[in-house]
Amino acid sequence: MDIELLKTFLEVCKTRHFGRAADNLFLTQSAVSARIRQLETLLSSELFSRQRNNIQLTAAGERLLLHADSVLAAWERARQDVALHNRHTVSLTLASTPGLWDTLLQTGISAIHQRLSDLVLRADIHSGDVLVRKLLERTLDIALLYDPPKAQELVSVPLTSLELMLVSSLPDQTPSQAQQHGYIMVDWGTAFQISHDQHFNSPTPPWLHTSHSRMALDLILSQGGCSYLPRRLVKPWLAEQKLFAVEGSPRFKRDVYGVYHASAAYQEQISEVMGILLQSARQSEQS
């Protein structure tokens, strides 16, 4: 199968419009239509139901969508590995949830680049379930996750723990007062949500849900409010009294793991990267 057919399929899925897909792919609309018809012929299935100004995926299209991203990711990985072979260079793909990118992976990547300058990296952000799926599909080398997956094929290495504390832009507040002043709920995983709901029987509904801790921090600093954020992330603003710990509020702990496939290629490089991530996490914790 021509890999461009899958790229075209995904672009039509994203835009739900053949003309906009054609513009994004720098093709004519007739070329996009021809590629989709070719793909449908190869699969012996109609992928889109075409009605005026309403393009919807068929059941077959929905099933193809589950695999198309993985096929393209695997192809891109293979193409990159072949291209790098003559340079004797290794490429690794790392990813995390948004909260762990803000807290750990961003500084970890800098440390990896300084220590392993010949290593070619790709870094992404995904939800936890997508990270596990990509690890099992071997389109991802290392993932940072809150909870170790139960899949036997995956190896989980403890890296660090995050202490989550309720911080506010205003001093001397009780937990209930703080939550009534622009509460932002950051997604720290299912275990955090359960513990949070147990401690706050009837919490004030947050005005914003987000998976990005940095976004929550920036909004609190600029507009005021409160949120549960990692102590290591907010430490500088606590010292400058731009943020304040909410006394009497519970603190939560989230363990963080580096996860990789037991049969992954480049085991030596993965071990080196895991060691650097562990050291970077410890240094960040102590700073």
pLDDT at 203: 64
Residue 97 contacts by C-beta under 8 Å, 6 or more apart in sequence?
Answer: 125, 126, 127, 128, 131, 144, 145, 146, 187, 189, 211
**How many CB atoms are located within 10 Å of the residue 206 CB?**
17
Q: For the chain, list residues with pLDDT below 50.
A: 88
Enumerate the β-bridge partners of residue 96. 125, 144
C-alpha span between 113 and 108 (Å, rounded): 9
Cβ-based burial of 129 (10 A; exposed 0-12, middle 13-18, buried ≥19): exposed
Contacts of 258 (CB under 8 A, 6+ apart): 142, 143, 144, 156, 157, 159, 274, 277, 278
Checking DSSP bridges between strand 183-186 and strand 252-261, what pairing results, if any?
A: unpaired
Closest CA relative to residue 118, chosen from 140, 87, 96: 87
> Which two structure tokens, joined as six digits, stand for 105?
């992976």
Query: Would you state the pLDDT for residue 177?
Result: 87
Distance CA 196, CA 228 (A): 10
CA-based max dimension of the chain: 67
Quick check: 138 and 119 in contact, CB under 8 A? no
* pLDDT the model gives residue 229: 95
**Given this model, what pLDDT does residue 264 score?**
85
Quick one: pLDDT at residue 88?
47
pTM of the predicted structure, to 2 decimals: 0.68
